[in-house]
Structure 1
Amino acid sequence: MNSLSNKIKEIEEKIKEVPVFQEIEKLLSDAKGIVLRDIIENNSDIIPYLKIDKLDTLKEQIWISYIQKNKEAFEELQKQYCLLENEIDNIDFDDTQWNNALEIFEERFTVPYKMKISNIKSAIIGESVPRVSFYFEKNGEIVTLERGELEDKDVLSQGEKRALYLLNIIFDVEKLKDSNNDILFIVDDIADSFDYKNKYAIVEYLYEMSTIDNFRLLILSHNFDFYRTVASRLSLKREARLCAEHSNGEIILKEEKYQNQPFKFWKNNLGYINILALIPFVRNIIEYRSKESELNKDEDYMTLTSLLHKKDGNTLITFSDIEDIYKKYLKSIEFKEEVDGNTIVLEELIKQAEAINLENAELEHKIIMAMAIRHKAEQYMFSEIGKHTGQLTWSIKRNMKIGTVSEFITHINNSGNQTRELYNGIKQFAKKDIVKILDEVNIMTPENIHLNSFMYEPLLDMDIIELHKLYQNIKNLE
């Protein structure tokens, strides 16, 4: 008997050394494993069903046992299921919230595909989330892709992907229209990466949302054109159009100063600051009125251009000189009495830039800062390039040239992008930290400040703190 016990013990010890057994022991040692161990020990007849190929049979037997034990409850469930199934069969699937959302999406947004909910029945009863299938049609041939397949192929642009994301938002909004509660929507930069057609489609949908009595919208955007369009299409009042400003470590919301065009306000209030801010505006008016081939011969255009760059003779231009130009193109304007016609324009530009502080965040202040930064930067680059003793390279219509500093300066004077060409020259020999600062000039101040919103947008988005810091950095190079 002892020998049999010893043999059994010996076999048990060997079994315990088997890696698979050790893994099973480990699995049966945690809280869930202990419960399973107890079930197996008390129901040894289930052991044959623990094989992988028998697990489905085990599940089936367990469910049958549950049903037999709760037969009346199961029969009631079966009855309710059949009733619900009949109701679902009678539903008009074309009039569901998901299909309504799809219809709204396809009517408004331009994407290269059509969509359909492929599991609409199971989605309605909550059995699964709605699954969208995509249909691409070309030359009469239709190709269907599931969302995962579409994403794997990576054939959609970023804008088209974001448009697809809007479908989920539209569905949620349409569902909330039936709610009696007040609902606040925070819409944060929703128009990023969209083409203009889809961007305006978003604006129209936001307008419709704004007409729902219990909907409240807080719309945030860094995109000035989108901001302006929303304000116009939704007919927002002054108190509802706010700009965020940083001040002493806090974010302050202020009413937008210019509800329409700032140019009209500047034109009617021609003090030093607004006169300076209008220089690129008036210059562009001349540009749009003249043939491109004749611009270099237009004295008015060249005068104002020389105030945006370092040019020979621009330190002699006075406010009287530009008043004559302004009256010619703006009509019916008068400079304020405080404006001394003998004052040198560029001297006043630097004076005003020096006076701008971090509380001055209006567009006119940013334009003045951008102009002053460019003047200071170009003045520094001309000076440093003039001291350079080596040769420099430059490109004319993709043809590389190499020559002396004098030849390079001649090239700059004939180029249409003076700031950029100066930068391309100085970066060939200047220290990295200096090149980095000058590169910020190209990034942060538009080379040509145009009167349309697209070119003013970078300045509007730019924090006055960043412009002020760059101005100080440029000054420190001198």
Structure 2
Amino acid sequence: MVFDEKVIEFLSTGDFKYQIKQYIEKYNDLIKNSNFLRKEFNHYHATTVQKNLLDNGFFKAEHTINMNMKGVKTEITSASELSKLIDEEKNKILSDIHLQKIFQTIDKKISNAQLREFRDYLFENQDLLIELENIQNLKKKVWLSYLQQHSILYFNLIKEYKDGQVELKKIIKQANEEKTDWENVIDIFNRRFYVPYTLRMSNKSDSVLRDEAPSVEYVFKDRDENSETVSEEILLSILSQGETRALYLLNIIFEIECRRKQGLQTLLVIDDIADSFDYKNKYAIIEYLKEISDSENFSLVILTHNFDFYRTVQDRINTDKFTQSYMAVRNVDSINLINPGYKYISNPFGNWKKDLNDKVKLIASISFARNIAEYVGDKVNFNKLTSILHKKDNSGTLLIKDIESSYKEIFKDMDQLVLNDPDKYVLDVIFEVAEQLCGESTETGLNLENKIVLSIATRINAEIYMISKIHDPSFVSKIKSNQTGKLFGRFKNDFSNEAESIKILEKVNLMTPENIHLNSFMFEPILDLTEHHLKDLYVNVKRLIISEEQSEMFAATTTESYDH
């Protein structure tokens, strides 16, 4: 009979235990009146003795036993005589009418279909009921009985286990001493990445001997060097996005290291792997990628939307910077892959300085020059160059030679600078170049300088238009910073009904400032903007000015006619 979990659960219920208790109490009362059975030597024990005597040839050896039958000694000379005596005594007890009623009550309790097999077994083996008072003890007896029946197999197993203990300990010791692939990956991660936890492999020997997946522990250390192990679930709930992405690199590094170890030819495509990383971890993954790129079996294709990451990869990984680096440039109806050139990307101003007589590069460089003047505290040249980037009272009077003199003072290596057309007005040059760029139908490169010039020209036109419409010189003269934004705020307040103009000017406020205040941290806004978007914006702002001029001319003509 197999005692499964459902049977054990049933036997443990309160009602059934009560019925068993009644049965055992009645059984013990009956056994007191037995000829030779007692509570300490019941029919189960008697049957066990009978079987042992039979199995060991006791009666065949012509031995006899004396039974105390209510104080009278009775000699038993054969196995059959003993068996008959025990069966008669057992049947007399188990057939008792009161005991049978209790058994029937128990039977009703276990009539469930799932327990039918157990119920049928009890019908055939009612003597088992007295053993159900203590389930754990019954289990123990069953196991001992099983082990006794299979003692040879059991002792062989024990012997094999003991014989293998010494060798097993040696294998486990060797497994713990070997550096596994996963342990190597964890070392790489702990060594390279800056996160507020340390990784540790907790089942090293099992991962070696049983081919189990490695179990990684996450250990936090506080400022007092106290460490605490936390679960992955808790870890992911408290990490920043960048720290979480760093953790996911663990499996990627493992795959890479396995392929390196096997010498497999591998094309590795990395897509925005450092997104949300802080600078320390961004450089850490770049250094790891550099190490991989030096492996002869690995070829890397690195994709990114992050311009700073792109430039850093060029500086640290790209061995042939002029031929292996590309940027996707979106035109009106296509996307082109272009090679911008390493120096142009890492230092565009250095590229422009070589050819400042190119009007596009000259105008684009003004934003850099003004920032340098501000950083070094050169207020005179800062204000002068600001008047080129914003519409000020003196903006229309500044000449190309004014830029030349400012550059000679700001940049120590430009004392020999000579610019063409020194007496040409700077605003005229800005608008001429913008018109020229708008006339070109295609884009051939990144053209940072083109986008900067279009942004400058567009913003100046927008300020000219807003200043003309607001028509409040006192208000304009008091603006000391963020001029475009403050003009736009006043314009929206004064001309809230001019929805189309507000829409266009809002785009100017959104699209142009970062392009003009260009530095190493502000490349991405201008790279995300296509040149044709800036051209469209320039044309739309220009139309606002033309429309305003035409309205003023019409108003003047009407007044003149009225006067006549």
Calculate the TM-score normalised by the size of structure 1.
0.70
8 Å CA contact 1:267, 1:333 repeated in 2: no
User: Which one of the candidate residues 122, 133, 147 is aligned to 2:217?
Assistant: 133
Residue 455 in 1 paired to residue 539 in 2?
no
Calculate percent identity across the aligned residue pairs: 41
8 Å CA contact 1:268, 1:333 repeated in 2: no
Residue 365 (structure 1) aligns with: 450
SS at match of 2:513: coil
> In structure 1, what is the Cα distance between the partners aligned to 2:208 and 2:428?
71
Deviating more after overlay: 281-290 vs 201-210:
281-290
Q: Which amino acid aligns with 1:370?
A: S
Residue deviations 1:377-413, cap 9 Å, x none? 2223223333xxxxxxxxxxxxxxxxxx6664344x2
> Aligned runs of 1:246-257 on 2, under 5 Å?
246-247=330-331, 249-257=333-341
Residue 471 in 1 paired to residue 538 in 2?
yes
8 Å CA contact 1:183, 1:215 repeated in 2: yes
SS at match of 1:454: coil
Structure 1 residue 140: Cα displacement:
4.6
> In structure 2, what is the Cα distance between the partners aligned to 1:272 and 1:252?
26
Residue 139 (structure 2) aligns with: none
User: Which one of the candidate residues 477, 484, 492 is aligned to 1:419?
Assistant: 484
Residue 390 (structure 2) aligns with: 309
Structure 1 residue 257: Cα displacement:
3.4
SS at match of 1:475: helix
Residue 464 (structure 2) aligns with: 379
- The two structures, once aligned, show a CA RMSD in angstroms of 3.3
Structure 1 residue 100: Cα displacement:
1.4
User: Which one of the candidate residues 310, 313, 325 is aligned to 1:241?
Assistant: 325
> In structure 1, what is the Cα distance between the partners aligned to 2:402 and 2:235?
62
User: Which one of the candidate residues 404, 419, 426 is aligned to 1:345?
Assistant: 426
User: Which one of the candidate residues 392, 404, 425 is aligned to 1:323?
Assistant: 404
Q: Cα 1:407–1:134, aligned 2, differ >3 Å: closer, same or farther? A: farther
8 Å CA contact 1:223, 1:461 repeated in 2: no
Residue 276 (structure 1) aligns with: 363
SS at match of 2:338: strand
Residue 107 (structure 1) aligns with: 191
Q: Cα 1:451–1:251, aligned 2, differ >3 Å: closer, same or farther? A: closer
SS at match of 2:521: helix
Q: Which amino acid aligns with 2:488?
A: Y
> In structure 2, what is the Cα distance between the partners aligned to 1:315 and 1:379?
11
> In structure 2, what is the Cα distance between the partners aligned to 1:378 and 1:94?
72
Q: Cα 1:142–1:94, aligned 2, differ >3 Å: closer, same or farther? A: farther
Residue 390 (structure 1) aligns with: none
> In structure 1, what is the Cα distance between the partners aligned to 2:408 and 2:170?
79
Structure 1 residue 258: Cα displacement:
4.9
8 Å CA contact 1:132, 1:146 repeated in 2: no
Q: Cα 1:258–1:327, aligned 2, differ >3 Å: closer, same or farther? A: farther
8 Å CA contact 2:452, 2:515 repeated in 1: no
> Aligned runs of 1:73-88 on 2, under 5 Å?
none
Residue deviations 1:138-178, cap 9 Å, x none? 24543322112323xx3211111121122222222112212
Deviating more after overlay: 249-258 vs 185-194:
249-258
SS at match of 2:175: coil
Larger Rg: 2
8 Å CA contact 1:245, 1:254 repeated in 2: yes
Structure 1 residue 367: Cα displacement:
1.1
Q: Cα 1:348–1:49, aligned 2, differ >3 Å: closer, same or farther? A: farther
> Aligned runs of 1:17-166 on 2, under 5 Å?
48=114, 90-92=174-176, 95-120=179-204, 129-138=213-222, 139-151=224-236, 154-166=237-249
8 Å CA contact 2:400, 2:426 repeated in 1: yes
SS at match of 1:320: helix
Residue 352 (structure 2) aligns with: 266
Structure 1 residue 256: Cα displacement:
1.5
8 Å CA contact 1:93, 1:120 repeated in 2: no
Q: Cα 1:242–1:132, aligned 2, differ >3 Å: closer, same or farther? A: same
Q: Cα 1:225–1:290, aligned 2, differ >3 Å: closer, same or farther? A: same
Calculate the TM-score normalised by the size of structure 2.
0.60
> Aligned runs of 1:437-452 on 2, under 5 Å?
437-447=504-514, 449-450=516-517, 452=519
> In structure 1, what is the Cα distance between the partners aligned to 2:115 and 2:198?
48
> In structure 2, what is the Cα distance between the partners aligned to 1:84 and 1:434?
84
User: Which one of the candidate residues 299, 303, 307 is aligned to 1:220?
Assistant: 303
8 Å CA contact 1:449, 1:455 repeated in 2: no
> In structure 1, what is the Cα distance between the partners aligned to 2:339 and 2:328?
9
Residue 205 in 1 paired to residue 205 in 2?
no
> In structure 2, what is the Cα distance between the partners aligned to 1:462 and 1:94?
54
Deviating more after overlay: 261-270 vs 116-125:
116-125
8 Å CA contact 1:119, 1:131 repeated in 2: yes
SS at match of 1:312: coil
> In structure 2, what is the Cα distance between the partners aligned to 1:165 and 1:408?
55
Q: Cα 1:180–1:107, aligned 2, differ >3 Å: closer, same or farther? A: closer
SS at match of 1:324: helix
Q: Which amino acid aligns with 1:268?
A: K
Q: Cα 1:368–1:258, aligned 2, differ >3 Å: closer, same or farther? A: farther
Residue deviations 1:213-237, cap 9 Å, x none? 0111111222222211111112432
SS at match of 1:373: helix
> In structure 2, what is the Cα distance between the partners aligned to 1:145 and 1:432?
57
Structure 1 residue 179: Cα displacement:
3.3
Q: Which amino acid aligns with 1:211?
A: D
SS at match of 1:460: helix
Q: Cα 1:477–1:126, aligned 2, differ >3 Å: closer, same or farther? A: farther
> In structure 2, what is the Cα distance between the partners aligned to 1:49 and 1:215?
65
Q: How many residues align?
A: 376
Q: Cα 1:329–1:49, aligned 2, differ >3 Å: closer, same or farther? A: farther
> In structure 1, what is the Cα distance between the partners aligned to 2:390 and 2:327?
31
Q: Cα 1:253–1:211, aligned 2, differ >3 Å: closer, same or farther? A: same
8 Å CA contact 2:207, 2:214 repeated in 1: yes
Q: Cα 1:309–1:126, aligned 2, differ >3 Å: closer, same or farther? A: farther
User: Which one of the candidate residues 258, 261, 277 is aligned to 1:178?
Assistant: 261
Residue deviations 1:249-284, cap 9 Å, x none? 332212113525222222221221111111112222
8 Å CA contact 1:381, 1:423 repeated in 2: yes
SS at match of 2:362: helix
SS at match of 2:389: coil
> In structure 2, what is the Cα distance between the partners aligned to 1:84 and 1:462?
66
Q: Which amino acid aligns with 1:160?
A: E
